Structure 1
Amino acid sequence: MNDTIFVTNLCIVGRHGVNEEERILGQRFFLDIEVKTDARRASEHDDYREAICYATLCELAQTVSDKGPYRLIETFAERVIAEILARFDAATAVLVRIRKPGAPISASFDTVGVELTRLRQRTVGFALGSNVGEKSSQIRAALAFLEAVEGMEIQKVSSFYKTAPWGKEDQDWFVNACAVGQTSLTPHQALRAAKEIEVQLGRTPGERWGPRLIDVDLLFLGEEEFASPALTLPHPEMFNRAFVMVPLAEIAGDRKVAGRRIGDVTAGLTLAPEEVEPYAVP
């Protein structure tokens, strides 16, 4: 979701600039602030407390200016962005544009300025599985597609594991793996990317918990606790699935999800024989 909250032409008097006179006398700066977010919860509930407040954006910019002076307006803009991202968890991206019409340069101009955009990066986790066809190849292909998603950086991939079927036992064994990384995507964007990869690799609708060419499940995204008809985060079954927790603990054992340390949850699982075993990839 790319809803935008914005403030335009906010005037702030500050003492920012390279020249000593600028830091003594001060001048006017004009700021545009754009915050990307998912505004559906605030709008559905008509609740001011769930919204990104325009007044707070203005106050944060003024507070950052007052902490100056800064020699560069790039620094000013960067710190405004950092304050907004720190204040509003729902902000996924922030643009700050600063105009400086009184810049002391020998040229005729309306204004000079800078424009900075920063995206919130959050840790994301995926579980992947296949029990049809070339299982390991399907997972490797899905990982390659994940790494190519704009706004997604896969940083760690677990070993591959041979696992027993779950939910419906009269089917072939699976190969499973997990991946974690950083993303600027919203939960629904990350889910959509995962489902599109499944389709690209040839998955078609089938029996629940039945055989599948490829499965790409979004497990968690930052500290997000999220529920909608299409998505629940963290994944509601992840802690009950050894084929998820064992590979996930290999690469993110110290991470906490919903207040639970992944390594501790995994250590407390009772595994049946051959339920989850390391798999030597051909």
Structure 2
Amino acid sequence: MDKIVMSAMAFFGYHGVFPEENKLGQRYIVDAELVLPLSNAGRNDDLAETINYAEAYELIKGIVEGPPFKLIEALAEKLADALLERYPELSEVAIRVTKPNPPFAIYFAGVTVEIKRRRPVEACISLGSNLGDRMDYLERAIRLLDQHPNVSVLRRSAVYETDPVGYTDQGPFLNMAVAVKTDLTAEELLAFMLETEQVLGRVREIRFGPRTLDLDLILYGKEIKGTPQLTVPHPRMGERAFVLIPLAEIVADDAVPGIDSLAERLKHLEGKDGVRIWIA
């Protein structure tokens, strides 16, 4: 990934838990890595295509030399938040804050806090269940997603009862979709989804077969990505009424890369008769 690295910026601040630190102050060293696309700036030699690091320096200086924090962890968090808020083109920031001479009786060169923060994205997840108390499995999965410290459930669709697709010798599914906000990578989010399936008793014996819970990552922002482990948007979503009908309730009509209009796609999609609104 392209990045701008601002190294060893020195400031004077008054952060710390001891009264002497707040009164006398001391020097702080800050390093910042700003992750963003830089190819256009390089090709066009144009400052408007990148971040003015002199301006970014002043933003960082104003925070480090501003009102004190007790912890440099809190100072680092504030710096990351401020940079992501000021520069929407940033996808990620890494901040290192070093206190060179902590006021302890023993000597060591310094203490450093390093954090990395990604810009949150909105992702969409399809949920399905056709074993046991189907609705309970869906609700428990949503709770587990929302309880993750890096995931927040934003919106949820209605629940639909759907005929099985592929392997048809099984009971009907309950399906729905949720939109979440997360700063996990797509791979990290998928790993947590697989873990959630296992926690709720998913056993993979027959492809497309019965399951207590099925979680599919349908969208991860506007990202288009294909690896052996993960493809987003989901490669079969455009063929599945039980995915697109709930999804259309929680995202904009033009939210899916490769599909100009969800409404138009649904007009001509086969299998809609097998997707029925479910009332408990």
TM-score w.r.t. the length of structure 1 is 0.68
SS of the equivalent of 2:229 reads coil
The alpha-carbon deviation at position 278 of structure 1 amounts to 0.2
Q: Which amino acid is 2:95 matched to?
A: L
Kindly indicate whether the alpha-carbon contact (under 8 Å) linking 1:31 and 1:99 is maintained by their aligned counterparts in 2.
no
The separation in 1 between residues aligned to 2:270 and 2:66, in whole angstroms, is 55
CA distance in 2, matches of 1:144, 1:192: 17
Distance in structure 1 (CA, Å) of the matches to 2:81 and 2:195: 36
Closer, same or farther in 2 for the Cα pair 1:119/1:79, shift >3 Å? closer
What CA distance in whole angstroms lies between the structure 1 residues aligned with 2:61 and 2:141?
A: 49
Residues of 2 paired with 1:268 and 1:139: CA distance?
Answer: 27
Taking the TM superposition and a 5 Å limit, the aligned residue runs for 1:140-219 are 140-219=139-218
1:63 is aligned to 55
Distance 1:186 1:265, change over 3 A: farther
Distance 1:96 1:268 in 2: 52
* Partner of residue 106, structure 1: none
Provide the secondary structure at the position in 1 that maps to 2:137. helix
Q: Deviations over 1:185-243 (max 9, x none)?
A: 00110000100000000111211111111101111111211111111111111111100
Residues 78 and 35 of structure 1, relative CA distance in 2, 3 Å threshold: closer
Residues 259 and 176 from structure 1, CA distance in 2 versus in 1: closer, same or farther, beyond 3 angstroms?
Answer: same
* Fraction of identical pairs, as percent: 27
Q: Residues 79-94 of structure 1: matches in 2 within 5 Å?
A: 81-82=83-84, 86-89=88-91, 91=92, 93-94=93-94
Contact preservation (8 Å) 2:11, 2:65 = no
Q: State the Cα RMSD in Å.
A: 4.1
Partner of 2:195, secondary structure, is helix
CA 262–127 in structure 1, closer or farther in 2 if over 3 Å, else same: farther
User: Where does 1:85-124 land on structure 2 (aligned, <5 Å)?
Assistant: 86-89=88-91, 91=92, 93-95=93-95, 97=97, 118-124=117-123
- SS of the equivalent of 1:190 reads helix
In structure 1, the residue corresponding to 2:122 is in which secondary structure? strand
- Residue number in structure 2 paired with 1:10: 8
Q: Give the match for residue 137 of structure 1.
A: 136
Q: Measure how far apart 1:120 and its partner are.
A: 1.2
Deviations along 1:103-137, one digit per CA (max 9) or x if unpaired, are xxxxxxx99xx998754110010000011111111
Distance 1:159 1:62, change over 3 A: same
Give me the TM-score of the superposition, normalised by structure 2: 0.69
Code of the aligned partner of 1:226: K
Runs of at least 4 residues of structure 1 off by over 6 A? 98-101, 114-117
Gaps of 5+ in 1: 17-27, 38-47, 50-55, 102-109
CA change 1:214–1:83 in 2 (3 A) is closer
Shift of 1:65: 3.2
Report how far residue 170 of structure 1 moved. 2.4
Equivalent residue pairs, number: 239
> CA deviation digits over 1:162-194, x for unaligned, max 9?
111111222211110000021000011000010
Cα displacement (A) at 1:63: 3.3
Q: Which residue does the alignment assign to 1:53?
A: none
Gaps of 5+ in 2: 14-26, 40-46, 68-77, 102-108
Cα deviation for residue 160 of structure 1 reads: 0.6
